[in-house]
Amino acid sequence: MSLLLALLIDALLGEPPARLHPVAWIGRYLQRAGRGLDSLPPRTAFVRGAVGWLLGAGLVVCLAGLAQWGLGRAPAWIALPGTALLLKPLFSFRMLVGEVRAVGTALQGGLEHGRRRLAHIVSRDTTQLSAGEVRESALESLSENLSDSVVAPLFWFALLGLPGAALYRFANTADAMWGYRGRWEWAGKFAARADDVLNFIPARLTALLFVAAGGGTATLRALAREARKTPSPNSGWPMAAFALALGVRLGKPGVYTLHPAGRVPANTDFVRGTRLTVVAGCLGAAGAAALAWALGRISHG
């Protein structure tokens, strides 16, 4: 029930202010712990990066575990909303869909507006993208982040409670800040690999959710074939499932193209894509709630 209440809070209120947001606190820790790591020799950078990750993750898990322990001894009328309020900042469903819809709205006002808005949610250069490529990049981000921002944290919450969701959010934030190629190759390697491990199951679950939400027309063989085209062991799965469900092409120029036989996304595909994401996310949340309930029942005998 706390998971469903957290979803309701997310739908009605969205994100808490930055000063109260645990992910912002995690980001500040990683920023401080990461100072100078990218300028160290490879072996030293790897060790210090791993130690910084482990210390931060340990602190986050301990705090979340302490909160869960305290709530577990409180009456239900305190424990249920308390857990929901602590869980909510660890996933972002409303913001994810809202940011991508904002790209579509901006694009209706002109290509340059769409490019600038897209730059808020992707790291690639958006200044030369066509309207179709803007939609393509936004849809790609939407599909990948349904796993990172919704399915994965709820999955780990269902399995391990608040400590599981908090650990995942720390790992995903660390990967976003440290897990780069180039200067961060060694300093962020531990963070990148930890994120890969924690995302392995959720990414594939998200792909199946897209298949289910899209009517189940994509075959698992086609899905696996397309998913393996990306350098990441995980992100290709939700993106490939999304591309196949919508019948569109998604990709990164010079790196990979998913479902190359698909069409360039049009405005109708953009609208369909956001709707498909909402349906898939709701299915995933319902599944996580059912899993959390089942494990709770088992743990109580």
Instruction: For the chain, give the longest Cα–Cα distance.
Output: 59
Pull the structure tokens for residue 140. 């790609």
Q: How confident is the model at residue 215 (pLDDT cuts 50, 70, 90)?
A: confident
Q: Which residues pair with 252 in a beta bridge?
A: 256
Task: Provide the mean pLDDT of the chain.
Answer: 93
d(CA 240, CA 226): 6
Give the mean model confidence (pLDDT) for residues 254-278.
Answer: 92
Quick one: how far is CA 70 from the chain centroid? Answer: 28
Q: Report which of 261, 278, 250, 236 is spatially closest to residue 137, judged by C-alpha positions.
A: 250
Enumerate the domain spans of the chain: 2-299
What's the pLDDT score for residue 300?
38
d(CA 177, CA 194): 13
Sign of CA dihedral 110, 116, 118, 123: positive
Residues 6+ apart with CB under 8 A from 70: none
Render pLDDT for 43-73 as a digit per residue (tens, 0 to 9).
999 999 999 999 999 999 999 999 999 999 9
What's the pLDDT score for residue 75?
94
d(CA 256, CA 261): 13
What's the pLDDT score for residue 301?
37
| C-beta separation of 115 from 126 below 8 A | yes
Residue type, 190: F
Judged against a pLDDT cut of 80, whether residue 299 lies above it is answered with no
What's the pLDDT score for residue 180?
83
Quick one: which H or E segment has residue 281? helix 267-299
What's the pLDDT score for residue 254?
81
Give the mean model confidence (pLDDT) for residues 10-23.
Answer: 94
Classify the phi-psi angles of 176: left when phi > 0, otherwise alpha if psi is within -120 to 50, otherwise beta.
alpha
Render pLDDT for 85-144 as a digit per residue (tens, 0 to 9).
999 999 999 999 999 999 999 999 999 999 999 999 988 888 888 898 999 999 999 999
As a dihedral over the C-alpha atoms of residue 120, residue 126, residue 129, residue 135, rounded to 10 degrees, the angle is -20
